[in-house]
Amino acid sequence: DGGITQSPKYLFRKEGQNVTLSCEQNLNHDAMYWYRQDPGQGLRLIYYSQIVNDFQKGDIAEGYSVSREKKESFPLTVTSAQKNPTAFYLCASSQGRTTNEKLFFGSGTQLSVL
């Protein structure tokens, strides 16, 4: 089945620790995105990438980093600089070739602080 796989489903971070969330897609999409979802705040864009080896900051990039070494993979690292990391993190992809594109989302990773 084609889709987006996020892992792990649940993740716990200790103070001062960096953690990495995995996102893999087999839809052959060019563009990939990371969103943060907090209760009552909707979806906010962290980073996005429209092509391999290139990515741009979204609205709330501080305290996060990404890489795009392969078309299929777009991991997100939540660094120790992110002081309020507890949230539901969603990875998404789109074809990346047109406007008004449909976003395809993974099932998310719930990150909590110990």
Partner 1 sequence: QQQVKQSPQSLIVQKGGIPIINCAYENTAFDYFPWYQQFPGKGPALLIAIRPDVSEKKEGRFTISFNKSAKQFSLHIMDSQPGDSATYFCAASPYTGTASKLTFGTGTRLQVTL
Instruction: Give me the least distance between CB of 15 and partner 1, in Å please.
Output: 27
Does 58 bind partner 1 (CB under 8 A)? Our answer is yes
Q: Which amino acid is at 62?
A: E
Could you tell me how far CA 48 lies from the centroid of its own chain? 8
Does 19 bind partner 1 (CB under 8 A)? Our answer is no
Does 11 bind partner 1 (CB under 8 A)? Our answer is no
Residue whose C-alpha is closest to residue 44's, from 60, 64, 65? 60
State the number of binding residues for partner 1 (CB under 8 A): 29
Nearer to partner 1, 65 or 80 (CB): 65
Does 105 bind partner 1 (CB under 8 A)? Our answer is yes
User: Taking contact as CB under 8 A, which single stretch among the options 11-19, 63-71, 75-83, 90-98 is the one that binds partner 1?
Assistant: 90-98
Q: Which residues contact 98 (CB under 8 A, 6 or more apart)?
A: none
Q: How far is CA 58 from CA 22, 61, 97, in A?
A: 18, 6, 19
- Residue 99: half-sphere exposure toward Cβ, Cα within 13 Å: 0
Q: How is residue 25 annotated by DSSP?
A: E
Exactly one of 11, 27, 61, 103 binds partner 1 (CB under 8 A); that residue is 103
Which residues are at the interface with partner 1 (CB under 8 A)?
4, 6, 31, 33, 40-45, 48, 50, 56, 58-59, 90, 92, 94, 96, 98-103, 105-108
